[in-house]
Structure 1
Amino acid sequence: MRPNSLFGAVVATAATALLCPAVPPAAARSASADDTACTATAGPYQRQLEKHLGRPVADCRAVRSFQTAHDRPHADGRAGLGTYRTVLVVEATPDPNAAGHCPVESTRVTCVDMDRQRLWVQKGKGVVFGPAPIRTGRDAQETRPGWHSIYWRNRDQVSTTYDNAPMPYAQFFDGGQALHGHPGDLYDGGGSAGCVNLTVDDASALWDLLAVDDRVYIWGVKPGTAD
């Protein structure tokens, strides 16, 4: 290489280094993210988080780690309602029907536990989906309990009553009440208008599993609503 070419290559390399600084190793980036200050105050479900995590004190970072591990949309380190509902689902996972509230049938049954705001599907004593967090009807618009059957499904449903609100993967089981996805945070309001809301991902998985005439069994009372 001629001297002037060598000089040009050195200059070009230096310029590139300035324009494209080296990316730190993944381990260094992770350590930096883990060390990010966490300053959220204790939430209303702090004691429940501490009990679940087996700690006398669950600091902000411990709560945030739990939220991150379970894909909470706002991993802020505060023990709020959504995080507490996630704890209930995690704790129920080994045997969601341990209390025996959902009837055991030879065919698929979608079990909707309004007391603890979770849903699963079982066939016989086997769980084939869930448990998953849900949001049922608010006060005066409660989800109707009892036996139901899915009678109509629409993947791209929008509400004709509530300003064309999206209801992806809607599976109707009683009048205007349906199992469907709720874009955004399940806990961004006091409850649904009677439907059983799931995350969009869970609603999609449930859509792939269920069919018209599948049975749905609903019981309990959503916390914060009248009996």
Structure 2
Amino acid sequence: MCGAVATAVSVAVLVPVLVAAPAVAAPARCGAATGPYQRQLEAQLKLSVDGRQSAADCAAIRSFQAKYGVRPTDGYAGLATYRQLLVVQAGKNPNAAGKCPVRPRQKVACVDLSRQLTWVQRGKKIVFAPVPVRTGRDGMETRPGWHRVYWKNRHQISTVYNNAPMPYAQFFDGGQAFHGSYTDLFSGGSHGCVNMRKVDAARLWNVLRVGDLVYVWGRKPGT
């Protein structure tokens, strides 16, 4: 080849290095005991309804908890999981039994003491989907019947109960109000207020106005 210069070329051979893939931790074994609401969860999840926890039951309940943000996600059919079950069962028609009166063109905040649920309807249309609540304990029950929202205070502090915070408070009967709570919503009872998760109370704040109707009925379990 005219003018070509032969040049020795050193070629490096690359040898692939095998890197072990990171170990993936196996899911923790679901070993929760039988819960007090075992049968209700089994029925909802289309499991064999025998009231006895099995590995399959535990896994299914844990999946339900994970889907709806119930903590702890442990497969135990306890009160918090059952209360979320009631929300799911209420679905898009929480007033199927017709216990919350319908007022055409008027908003009604419905408080079902028996199921511990609250929603808002305008006529027959649900404008605030059902959420779990905690109402008054034995001897301090949330008062049943018709009420109206008469005052709202986003940063309310209780002047009666140790300066407890009552975020997004909406008063409807004396000192009783809808408001957010920082404590466990699924234990005990309130002093008469309708306690809600703070995020739900914030959403309800934007739905209700002074003058809107509130209807309370039923009986809180344990009162």
Q: TM-score range by the shorter chain?
A: 0.7 to 0.9
User: Aligned equivalents of 2:163 and 2:63: distance in 1?
Assistant: 36
TM-score where L is the length of structure 1:
0.82
Higher alpha-carbon Rg: 2
Match among 30, 37, 40 for residue 29 of structure 2:
37
Assess if the C-alpha contact under 8 Å between 2:142 and 2:192 holds in 1: yes
Letter of the aligned partner of 1:73 in structure 2? R
Equivalences for residues 192-203 of structure 1 within 5 A: 192-203=190-201
1:143 match: 142
Percent identity reads: 60
The 5 A counterparts of 1:2-151 are 32=25, 35-56=27-48, 59-105=57-103, 106-151=105-150
Change in Cα spacing, 1:23 to 1:222, as seen in structure 2 (3 Å) is farther
2:118–2:133 Cα contact (<8 Å) kept: yes
The C-alpha deviation readout for 1:71-105, integer Å capped at 9, x for no partner, is: 11322211111111111110111311100011111
Q: What secondary structure is seen at the aligned counterpart in 1 of 2:126?
A: strand
Aligned to 2:163: 164
- The answer (yes or no) to whether the contact 2:47–2:57 under 8 Å persists in 1 is no
**Deviation at residue 146 of structure 1 after TM alignment:** 0.4
TM-score (normalizing by structure 2): 0.84
Indicate if the aligned counterparts of 1:73 and 1:185 stay in contact, CA closer than 8 A: no
Give the SS at the match of 2:111.
Answer: strand
CA contact (8 A) 2:170 2:205 kept: yes
Query: Which residue does 1:214 correspond to in 2?
Result: 212
Which of structure 1's runs of 4+ aligned residues deviate more than 6 A? none
Q: Unaligned 5+ residue runs, structure 2?
A: 1-19, 49-53
RMSD of the TM alignment (CA)? 1.9
Specify the SS of the correspondent of 1:209: coil
Write 1 or 2 for the structure with the bigger share of helix: 1
Letter in 2 for 1:124: G
Please name the residue that 1:18 is paired with. none
Q: CA deviation at 1:40?
A: 1.6
Q: What is the number of residues matched between the two proteins?
A: 198
1:204 pairs with one of 202, 210, 218: 202
Task: Give the deviation of 1:23 after TM superposition.
Answer: 9.5
Give structure 1 stretches of 5+ with no counterpart. Answer: 1-21
